[in-house]
Structure formats: structure tokens, C-alpha cells
Amino acid sequence: PTTMLACVKHFALYGAPEGGRDYGTVDMSKIRMYNEYLPPYKAAVDAGVGSVMTSFNVIDYVPASGSRFIFKDVLRGKWKFKDLVVTDYTSIMEMMEHSTGDNMQEVSRQALKATVDMDMVSEGFLHTLKKSLDEGKVTKKDIDNACIRILMAKERLGLLDDPYKYFDEKRAAVEILS
């Protein structure tokens, strides 16, 4: 009843924004990034973490949730991570604040192309990917790959065989009455 999918967050460089402020620019050399900031994330990937959560900060002036470099090249390419990448809260929607796109369709496209699989809150994927597909801005394969990784995570948790596998009626009743 306590099985969970481990998620390492916030990938990457979230602890190094200028001025110590959330959502800020991170300006550092690739040497420092690889030597000081990425090793703990790499260790989590090597240990078999099941998901990675995007960060809110920018990397080389690109919001992390739309960074092909950090997700497609490093995480999925160099590190061979095949599992779920999920956004933090409204990080796709907030990409507009960093001027990488002026509407949800554009920033959602950027995130999907960066190999982000799940848009946690902003619903950009839900409301824009069909239009982006129809306009040729994303491919069916882009969407299928994200869906496959989500379904594989659910399969590993046993949720495809039994969606109520971890539902505990006694525990739910106690929490409702509390």
C-alpha cells in the first residue's frame, strides 16, 4: 500500500539561480554544471529513479521545461533515461514569462519537443497538442512517445492490471472522517 514511483526534482540547476530567486536565470559554465550540479541527478538516474521533474529556472536563457539540451541531449541522450519526465506545477505555462513563446500552444510544443511527457497543471498539452499536430508543429511520434512513457510508469506500478491496487477502504474512511 505504500509503493510509489520515485521522482528526482528539480532538473536541473534549480539550486543556482541568480540572486537566489526562484524562476531566475542560471548562468554557469558547462564545466561547473557537469562537475557540481548534474552528478546527484545522474546518480538518481543510475539508481533507477522512475521519473524526473522539470525545474522552473532557465538554462542558457531557455526555461528548463523547454530545454532540448537538458532533457533530450543530456537526460535522454547521454544518460539513456527512458522513463517519465513530468513538469513541476505550472512550469510550461510560466515559460511564456521568459519570452520563449507568447501562447500555450507554442510553449507546450517546445516542452514536448524537449521530451517532456506530462504537463502537470497548466493543461497546455491537453488543450493544444491536437492543434499543433494538425499544423505539423509536433508529430504523432512525439505524442506517442510521451504517452508510452506515461503508460510504462503506470504499468510498473501495476495500475494497468488493477487501477485500485493501492486503494485502502479503511484508510480512506479514516481520512474522510478526520
Q: Give the helix ranges, DSSP H, for 19-103.
A: 30-32, 39-46, 68
Query: In whole angstroms, what is the distance from residue 178 CA to residue 169 CA?
Result: 14
88 is catalytic: yes
CA dihedral sign of residues 107, 109, 114, 118: positive
Amino acid identity of residue 81, one-letter, is F
**Annotated catalytic residue, options 88, 102, 144, 168:** 88
Do 56 and 94 meet the contact criterion of CB atoms below 8 Å apart?
yes
Other beta carbons less than 10 A from residue 128's beta carbon: 23
Rounded Cα distance, 97 and 107, in Å: 10
Contact 107, 95 (CB under 8 A): yes
Residues taking part in catalysis: 88
